[in-house]
Amino acid sequence: MLNAIGFLELNSIAKGIETADIILKTAEVRLVFAQASCPGKYQIFFTGEVAAVQAAMDAGRQTGGTYVVDGCVIPRLHPQVIRAIHGAAPLSENGAVGVMEFFSITASVYAADAAVKAAEVELLTIRLGTGIGGKSFVVLTGTVAAVKAAVDAGEADANAEGMLMTSVVIPNPDPALFDTLL
């Protein structure tokens, strides 16, 4: 059962691969993905029980050392966040689109979780740095009021502080825009 997620971002691919191995050997966690991303970073995303994820994260941070850019452990992550990271979220044209753009990959995970817990919105996608210069962004949809509340909550999350580049809420977007969002 998924109780927590761990996400670790490093600025070395070689050190990232070594760190992923240590994470998997330290505790009973399941690897969701470990991959290189732009610009020459390495992302490790894993799940498990809270204590196991925390132990694996601690070992990963120690192994990664100065190559660790950022990391997070989030207990009770909203299920929409995992779907949006995998790009498996259903597309619905609900009246408004919100986009939050971050300099940090982990900030987008924190903000997406806060946003979907704060308002009745659907996360469409969470893009994690690959092909976009190491930045990340979250796209969500819902009523204008819900999207505004969700974006406000994502921006206000203490773990995303200082990493927000910009955000927008687009009321009644043109239907053709939805085709470009996933």
Residue 141 and residue 146: Cα distance in Å, rounded? 8
- What is the domain-level CATH number for residue 51? 3.30.70.1710
Q: How far is CA 27 from the centre of its chain?
A: 22
Residues 16, 45: one domain?
A: yes
| pLDDT at residue number 88 | 59
Question: In the prediction, which pLDDT does 3 show?
Answer: 82
Q: What is the pLDDT of residue 52?
A: 96
CA distance from start to end of the chain: 28
pLDDT of residue 54: 97
Q: What stretches in the chain show pLDDT beneath 70?
A: 1-2, 86-94, 130-132, 181-182
What is the extent of the structural domain holding 68? 4-75
Listed residues 12, 42, 75: the one ending a domain:
75
Handedness of CA 140, 142, 143, 148 (dihedral sign): negative
Asked whether residue 83 falls in the same domain as residue 153, the answer is yes
Query: Structure tokens of 117?
Result: 């817990």
**pLDDT recorded at residue 77:** 82
pTM of the model: 0.77
What is the predicted pLDDT for the residue at 37? 82
What are the pLDDT digits (tens) for 135-170?
Answer: 889 999 999 999 999 999 999 988 887 888 999 999
